[in-house]
Structure 1
């Protein structure tokens, strides 16, 4: 009988579960489960997850527990990792304790650097090419930057830049304004700090990534039958569409799903800032990132 493994990631925007069959040292994904939990949207003034976010997270884990039973997964073949929001909230342990009652598998709250390592390995195992690459993963509350040659990491850093955490301070009103995008660019520059010089020193003008923001933009390119490479010009065109919107749900943007709409403006603002600050020419979607890296760690 083949061995089934599962990677469960508790992100600041989404909770994800991959179920895979281990075949010749590689995971072959047979099922994917995902819910937009948006933990980073539910941090109160005391730094705690509020009741709604807490319950959304637990509800998703109860759903994942059913999938564990459905696929007859062994607890030894499941890894659960949590990222930026659960790294920072004050009531993290309370959430972990309640989660364990629903899904009795330890939750590993990883550091930003550990997250960057998983992301890079997930990219390297699933994306063609061994040239030097900059990997950017924009999450709900943090963004990881990794530079590597082949499977060797040269530089890694995690910064408090996220499409959910940037949403409220800059895009909580409507209609959106040019100054909102400018404010995000300033915040991104401040967060990068000295790391900006270090990243630029590697000379990477192209990047790859697999975050929800990048996937959303690739979906827009596909829908419009355009080349699936994100450029500064394309981002500028989407920004113009966002600024011209008459509906806060961005329902007039062709090819945009309503699930993706709430964080599009913040995600585009972050991407535009990174293109300018890092002198990027293009960003492509990688074959995998965090979840795939966790699967390979299980193998």
Structure 2
């Protein structure tokens, strides 16, 4: 009997992702990946609605996913679509969902920040080696999730309204970037963390794992330079200085930075820097997986 295919689709504030997989030896095995930088959070207007341009980018991506589902031969019963921070907060999310279902005929589940944090942790635990108590930080486009867990057990989880797209719009919308932009971002991170700063520090951890685009962009850069891919405070301070020295907003002179990562790179580095300093983080390693892998494993359990 041929193993059934299933697809996990996640609509983030920065990127839309789709994983197609089948179960082999009781584990989901990914056979295809699709991703597009939609930057949905860039389109949030002052009145809380999502503008037409961002909505169009999102719907176009979902139409592409629909084509790929047909190409891969995934049954309509084996597809799950979830959305995160931007669709949680915009006032016209119903409009987006109504347009979306016309091109991708699957209902969109808009999950809470706590549900997102749970899936992120399960995705990390299923794909990332290591033991002991771990702090997981997932910096998305419009929210950041913090989870502390040990093995498969979650001890703490929360989702806070800070992300590389929203911070880019607030603090890094004027070029050239200035040191004060990073200072303003840090103060905002501290304010949003609030009492969670003490709560996280009190629980403690043996290691820190980071997920999603902001961490990935730094790790890709370090890998391209042939350096250790472990993120440290020194690494982030060097990247801050390189960002401040750029002559163009494209930041083409930053060795190892992929062009598609450049638009939100400064904001991501600023958030990471603030968290390293406020939480006294020494080192951070890239997670093997996060939200989409968590959803994929949930689908695999359901289809087994």
Q: Deviations over 1:30-62 (max 9, x none)?
A: 111111111100011211110100100000000
CA distance in 2, matches of 1:289, 1:206: 16
Instruction: Tell me how far apart the structure 2 counterparts of residues 205 and 281 of structure 1 sit (CA, whole Å).
Output: 11
With normalisation by structure 1, the TM-score equals 0.99
Who is 1:269 aligned against?
270
- Asked if the contact 2:132/2:206 (under 8 Å) is kept, the reply is no
5 Å matches for 1:98-117? Answer: 98-117=99-118
Q: Aligned residue for 1:244?
A: 245
Does residue 228 in structure 1 map to residue 232 in structure 2? Answer: no
Hey, what does 2:74 align to over in structure 1?
Answer: 73
| Residue 136 (structure 1) shift | 0.3
RMSD: 0.8
Alignment of 1:66-215 (within 5 A): 66-204=67-205, 206-215=207-216
Partners of 2:133 and 2:206 within 8 A in 1: no
Task: Look up the match of 1:294.
Answer: 295
Is 1:29 matched up with 2:30? Answer: yes
CA distance in 2, matches of 1:119, 1:185: 24
SS at structure 2 position matched to 1:5: strand
Give the drift of 1:205: 6.2
Q: How much has 1:25 moved relative to structure 2?
A: 2.2
Aligned counterpart, 2:259: 258
Contact 1:19 1:32 in 2 (8 A): yes
> 2-side partners of 1:55 and 1:252: how far apart?
32
- Distance in 2 between residues matched to 1:113 and 1:153, nearest whole Å: 11
Q: Do the aligned partners of 1:209 and 1:289 also contact (CA within 8 Å) in 2?
A: no
Deviation of 1:87 after TM superposition, in Å, equals: 0.2
Q: What is the number of residues matched between the two proteins?
A: 299
- 1:166–1:184 contact (8 Å) kept in structure 2: yes
Q: Work out whether residues 205 and 282 of structure 1, in 8 Å CA contact, stay in contact via their aligned partners in 2.
A: no
Q: What are structure 2's unaligned runs of at least 5 residues?
A: none
Give SS of 2:247's match: coil
1:204·1:280 contact (CA, 8 Å) conserved in 2? no
**Structure 1 gap segments, 5+ residues each:** none
Q: Normalised by the size of structure 2, how large is the TM-score?
A: 0.97
SS at match of 1:79: strand
Contact 1:213–1:267 at 8 Å: present in 2 too?
yes
CA distance in 2, matches of 1:84, 1:68: 25
Per-residue deviation at 1:296? 0.5
